[in-house]
């Protein structure tokens, strides 16, 4: 069981908006630690998608956005595209467990 | 271009040892914290260990403490993970990752090397 909880799967039609939640606690996200998001395409290494809660690295499309509030964070994908089908992971720091990942969310484009 | 290339994975018997290496290029290796993350077959990501860029401070997840040792050779631009007393649940793809300046979260990842612990 991951310290950061994500839904196992989300799906949407092309062009739709989907969101992925990442729920933590007072020892990680709620303590003010940053949340980062990673995209893992099938058979490849993860790639940094969002860092510091809301920031996109160079080259990441602006249809990806991140937010954080209280003990939770969210990743939104607007204008869903077929190439967005992947696994997505949130990550933060925990005062007891150090660096932790969410369990991952599989995004399916219908 | 930042590149991280892992090597050293393979098949090892339970209780055995293995040393993973991660060759870094395209950046000043000695200036950045480095991390190992693993992914068991069909499972999610798990942070394993990290090492600071400056004083060599090391960090481990509880399940590998006392069995794994992270180290770095800044003269060779190489990160290592010495693994001993290996168990079946250590079977995974092991990724090496670079932290951004002043931080530890993985910002650039290698392609990974596979470790299989089985008799």
- Please give the residue of chain A at the shortest CA–CA distance from B39: A45
Would you state the structure tokens that stand for residue A11, as one six-digit string? 């799906």
For the cut 90, the answer to whether the pLDDT of residue A69 exceeds it is: yes
pLDDT of residue A105: 98
Reported residue count of chain A is 110
- CB of A39 within 8 Å of a chain B CB? The answer is no
- Please give the residue of chain B at the shortest CA–CA distance from A56: B107
Q: What is the pLDDT of residues B21-64, one digit of tens each?
A: 999 999 999 999 999 999 999 999 999 999 999 888 999 999 99
- CB of A45 within 8 Å of a chain B CB? The answer is yes
CB atoms within 10 A of CB A70: 10
- CB of A89 within 8 Å of a chain B CB? The answer is yes
Contacts of A98 in chain B (CB under 8 A): 47, 50, 59, 61
Contacts of B35 in chain A (CB under 8 A): 99
> In this complex, do B105 and A36 lie within 8 Å of one another by their Cβ atoms?
yes
pLDDT of residue B11: 98
> In this complex, do A45 and B110 lie within 8 Å of one another by their Cβ atoms?
yes
Contacts of A47 in chain B (CB under 8 A): 109
Query: For residue B93, what are the CA distances in angstroms to A8, A11, B17, B114, B116?
Result: 21, 27, 16, 4, 9
Q: What is the pLDDT of residues A74-102, one digit of tens each?
A: 999 999 999 999 999 999 999 998 999 99
pLDDT of residue B29: 96
Q: Which residues of B56-66 are buried (b: 16+ CB within 10 A; e: fewer)?
A: eeebbbeebee
């Amino acid at each position: 069981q991951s310290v950061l909880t994500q839904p196992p799967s989300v799906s949407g039609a092309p062009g739709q908006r989907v969101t992925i939640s990442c729920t933590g606690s007072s020892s990680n996200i709620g303590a003010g630690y940053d949340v980062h998001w990673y995209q893992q395409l099938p058979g490849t290494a993860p790639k940094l998608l969002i860092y510091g809660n809301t920031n996109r690295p160079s080259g990441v499309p602006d249809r990806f956005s991140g937010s954080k509030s209280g003990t939770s964070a969210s990743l939104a994908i607007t204008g869903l595209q077929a190439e967005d089908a992947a696994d997505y992971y949130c990550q933060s720091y925990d005062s007891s467990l150090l660096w932790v990942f969410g369990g991952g969310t599989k995004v399916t484009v219908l | 271009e930042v590149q991280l290339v892992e090597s050293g994975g393979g098949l090892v018997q339970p209780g055995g040892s293995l040393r993973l290496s991660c060759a870094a290029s395209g950046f000043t290796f000695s200036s950045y914290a480095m991390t190992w993350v693993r992914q068991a077959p069909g499972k999610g990501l798990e942070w394993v260990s990290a090492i600071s860029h400056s004083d060599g401070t090391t960090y481990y997840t509880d399940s590998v403490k006392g069995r794994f040792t992270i180290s770095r050779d800044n003269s060779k631009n190489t990160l290592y993970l010495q693994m001993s007393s290996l168990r079946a649940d250590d079977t995974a793809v092991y990724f090496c990752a670079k932290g951004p300046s002043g931080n530890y979260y993985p910002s650039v990842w290698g392609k990974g090397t596979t470790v299989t612990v089985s008799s």
